Structures are given as structure tokens and as C-alpha cells.
Amino acid sequence: MTAGVERATPPAPRWALPARIDPGEVRRIERLTRLPEPLCTLLVRRGIGTDADVRSYLRPSLEALHPPGLLPDMDAAASRIETALRSGETILVHGDYDVDGMTGAAVLSGGLADLGADVTPFVPHRTRDGYDLGPTGVATAADRGATLIVTVDCGVTAVDAVRLAGEQGIDVVVTDHHRPGPELPAAVAVVNPNRPNSRYPFNGLSGVGVGFKLIQELFERQGLGSGKLNRYLDLVALGTIADQVPLEDENRVFGRFGLQVLERTPRPGLRALMNVANVGRWSAPRASDVAFRLAPRLNSAGRIAEAADGLRALTTADTAEAEQLALQIEQTNVERRAADRSIYEEAVAMLEEDFDAERDRIVVLWSENWHPGVLGIAASRLVDRLGRPTILASVDGDRARGSARSIPSFHLYDALAACADLFDRFGGHAVAAGFDIPSADLPELRRRLAAGAVGSLPAESLGPEIDIDLEVALGDISDDFVRGFAYLEPFGSSNPIPRLLARDVTLTELGTVGGGEHLKAVLQQEGARLEAIAFREGRQEAELAAEPRRDVVFELHVEMARRGPRVQAHILSMAPCV
């Protein structure tokens, strides 16, 4: 057996250098866009090569949104809701307990209210109610006198719950984006771009994205203008970025314009959350602000407290209530971070005792001490550390609940589907999934996944790795480069922030911040200078002072402050010059 994972020094990541490309294509993009050559090189490397692709990528347009009627069952869904509107039926909007589900419930309930509906938004409690439309959701609809449930970000596998609703005289319209199971629920409509018969041109929508398309269809049928519809784009961007769906096609439009709406959002709860998270105070909100500041706070409510608090924060019109909810969510987030840190450290300790790099191509760990609501966060951190798929499960007696995270080269949902007979239920997509399972079956799950990984996860593909997008000289990072760089945003899944390599730079003005935890420096190369920070690398200060020349991989972060752009390199990895 190989040695366990060392706590203090995770393995240094491999650098995957960019492939060579046709310089003629780069020159063509330069002529088309007038952007600096390094940015044109980046566009070509990312496969954005045709004139139409370049234009839609650099300048997304709301006019590029696809007709919502192309989604499966959209006509049936909209027609049933219009019937409910005419007859004054009560509608229960059923979301999920993550940010995608909360924002989806807020968009659908708000849009339906705009149309005059008697609507009640609802999201389940993670541990009391579980994932998806279930008995609690149906009972809540019955208690409220609802005769129609409209789901968002859930429902496509809720066969039993939809049947239960029907037995109680409640119709169901499902809107979801998760992969359907072998049997669709017997709902009035199942609106999902990932249905096998879908002719929708883009299958990467988030749950809130599908919900927005339903509201778009209803507004168009009612002759409402785009202005009222587009005011929901702040919520759509929030859920889309948080759910880590690919930021391409319609999602890129949602992200670009939704962040603009978020900057001036009139929603008291969002404003209060932005204040406690220090978002938008000095510069316009970015996708990274959503991913690392707003989304974790909202998700904390769904993970270890009441998801309903997050939904209320997104929908309340009361400023005092909004501020109270924001402070409450902030405290919950502090508790969530402590729970996450505890799980992560305990998991690392387990791996220190028993980890075999050949055997454990997929890491599967479980404990009775772990809160099920934060398993996914800890699993993501372990994926970053180990560079291999990771599954963590919380054991409660004879049942267990698990969260799984993966690497781009391994399709997680397909791997779990091959073990479907072990689960009470499971769901997810390529890089994230969750499941319920009898505790006694966890060793068998580990065994099967390990056996399957031998052929699908070659050893050389595992371990931390940094994909480098572009090699630059520091002098390339000019004012024109920084201005052009802004057109590449928003960054996220499928459009990650570029990772740049600068060779033979000198680190000067070394120091630390954060009580010595983080390293700060100025990168210098042939007269060019760039401020830099390396998180959690403060311990390297003395070594770098003695030998300051390094090859450096970094991300470029640009903040549009009042006095102009502030440009800083976030160092990801360093190596001695060859």
C-alpha cells in the first residue's frame, strides 16, 4: 500500500501546457475583433473560431434567447397554468433547497404573481423532507388548497409523488433540468431540455433557467413586454452561476445581463445579502462574487438550517425582514464553514491512515459524525486536493446520505447509474451528484466504483492538474488587454477564468497578509510589474526571498474600482525556472 495523503504538503499540480494553434486563425480573429493577440489566441484555443461564435461570445444579446415553445411540453404546461389563472386556482411553486431551486421558486412565484396568480412558494427542508417533490410537498399543497403544483429544479424523477398528488386531485407541472430516469412522472407536463425527445437547441439550462423559460412563454402569451420579464434576470444569473452549469449559449446571456440587473437589484433581501457579503460595494458584481460570496451564504441555509429562509430573503419586500434574514443567513454560513472544515480535516485524517493511489482512484469515505448538508463542499475541496472523484456519506443508523463531486474526465452520474440497484434514490449530473443508500451497502459501492474506475480512470489522469490557457509576458498585460479581458466574462463552468503562465519572473516586495497565511508580492519581468497574491502560501516567503526567480501560473483578476481598474495576479502555482 502506498503512503497516505500528507496533511501539510499536498502534491504539486501538474502543468498541462496549451496545444499549438494555427497562427492564421489568430490573425483572422485579430482583424475581426481588434483585440490584443494574446486574447485572440485564447479565443481560438477555446474553440470560439467562427465569426458568429466570436460575436455572440464577446457581445451576448437578449435577442439570442431561444423560443421557449421549443422546450418539451411547454404548450401543455403554459395552457394548464393559464387555466389556473382564469379560474383563480391556488398554485404551489415547489423548488429545491439549493440556490438554483430557491431562485427558481422565486422567479416562478414572482412571475405567476405578476400574472395575477394566487401562488405559494415552497422549498423542502434538506433532512426533514429530502430532495425532490415528495410527500411533504404534496401535503403542503393540499393544506394550502392548491390544485396545481409547478416544480422547478426538481420533479423529473418524482414518479411516486406525482401519482400521490393526482390521487388527491392535484395536477403537477414539472420543470426541471436534471437527467430523467427510465420512467417520467405522469404529470400534466414535463418541461426539461434533457428529455430524450427534446428539440430545444441548448440542454445546459439550470433549474431556474427552465423556470424562467416558462415565465417567458406565459408573458409572451399575455402580451407582456420584456422589461417586466428581464427584471428577473438577477435571480436567473444567481441560480445559473451557483449551479455551475456551462456558461455558454443562453446561460452566458443570463450571466452577462443578470449581473447587470444584480448591480441595481431592487430586491431588499438580495441587497441585504450583498451588503453582508461585501458584494457590489466598490465595484460591479462579478460571477466570482456570486460563486464564492452570495451562493455559499444562501446554500448554507439549505444545508444546515431552513432553505425557506433563503427563499424568503429572495422574495420579501420588507426591508427590515430582509436585513434580519441576511444577518441570520450570515451566522448560518459561519456555522456551515466550521462544519465543512471539520469534515474536511477528518476526511484527510482518514486518508492519512489508509489511502492507496492505485486502489482509490475514486475516494469513498463515510462517518456518523458528518452533517449531510455540507458533504458536497468538503468533497469539492478533496477533489481539488487529490485530483480524483470523491464521495462522502453521512451515516445515520442503517441509512446514509451521500454527496459526490468529480473531475471533468469522469462522468459521475453514469458511474452512479451503474450502481443504481444499491441506492434508495440518486440524482445529479456529470460532476456533482447525491444519493440515499443503506449504510450496509457503502462498502459494496466503494468496491464497484473502484472496479469500474480501473478502465475509465487511468492513473496518469489523476492527481491535481492545472490546465494552462495561455503563455504571456507581463508586458502583454496592457490597458488594451485589460479592457478586452472584460469581454470574456462572466467566467464559470465551461468558460473558466483563463490560467496564464509567465516564465522567468522575479518576485519582489515580498510580504504576508492574513496573519502570515497569504503571500503578497510584485511580479517583475523586463520592466513590467504586476501586483500578486498567493493564498495560503505565506510560508514560502523566506524561500522566495533567497531565490525570487520563478515560472508562475496565475489568474488575472480585474476589479473596476472608482479610481479605475485594479489588476492583480492570483498565483496558483510556482516552479523554479528551468
pLDDT tens digits for the chain (578 residues)? Answer: 345 555 435 678 889 999 999 999 999 999 999 999 999 999 999 999 899 999 999 999 999 999 999 999 999 999 999 999 999 999 999 999 999 999 999 999 999 999 999 999 999 998 889 889 999 999 999 999 999 999 999 999 999 999 999 999 999 999 999 989 899 999 999 999 999 989 999 999 999 999 999 999 999 999 998 889 999 999 999 999 999 899 999 999 999 999 999 999 999 999 999 999 999 887 889 999 999 999 999 999 998 899 999 999 999 999 999 999 999 999 999 999 999 999 999 999 999 998 888 888 999 999 999 999 899 999 999 998 899 999 999 999 999 999 999 998 899 999 999 999 999 988 877 888 999 999 999 999 999 999 988 888 887 778 888 999 999 999 999 999 999 999 999 999 899 999 999 999 999 999 999 999 999 999 999 999 999 999 989 999 999 999 999 999 999 998 766 666 789 999 999 999 87
User: What would the CATH number be for the domain defined by 354-463?
Assistant: 3.10.310.30
Question: Cell 397554468 identifies what position?
Answer: 81
Distances, alpha carbon 203 to alpha carbons 132, 197, 299, 335, 382, in Å:
20, 12, 24, 36, 29
3-class DSSP state for residue 157?
coil
Distance CA 192, CA 126 (A): 23
Which three cell numbers, joined as nine digits, stand for 533? Answer: 497574491
Distance CA 229, CA 130 (A): 31
> Where do the domains of the chain lie?
14-19+466-576, 64-328, 354-463
3-class DSSP state for residue 181?
coil
In CATH terms, the fold of domain 64-328 is: inorganic pyrophosphatase (n-terminal core) (3.90.1640)
How many CA atoms within 13 Å lie on the side-chain side of 335? 16
Distance CA 212, CA 185 (A): 21
Q: What number of helices (H) and strands (E) belong to the chain?
A: 21, 18
Contact status, residue 201 vs residue 173, Cβ threshold 8 Å: no
The residues near 156 (Cβ < 8 Å, ≥ 6 apart) are: 174, 176, 178, 179, 180, 181, 184, 185, 190, 192
User: What pLDDT score was predicted for residue 431?
Assistant: 84
User: What pLDDT score was predicted for residue 561?
Assistant: 65
User: What pLDDT score was predicted for residue 5?
Assistant: 53
Q: Does domain 14-19+466-576 have CATH number 2.40.50.460?
A: yes
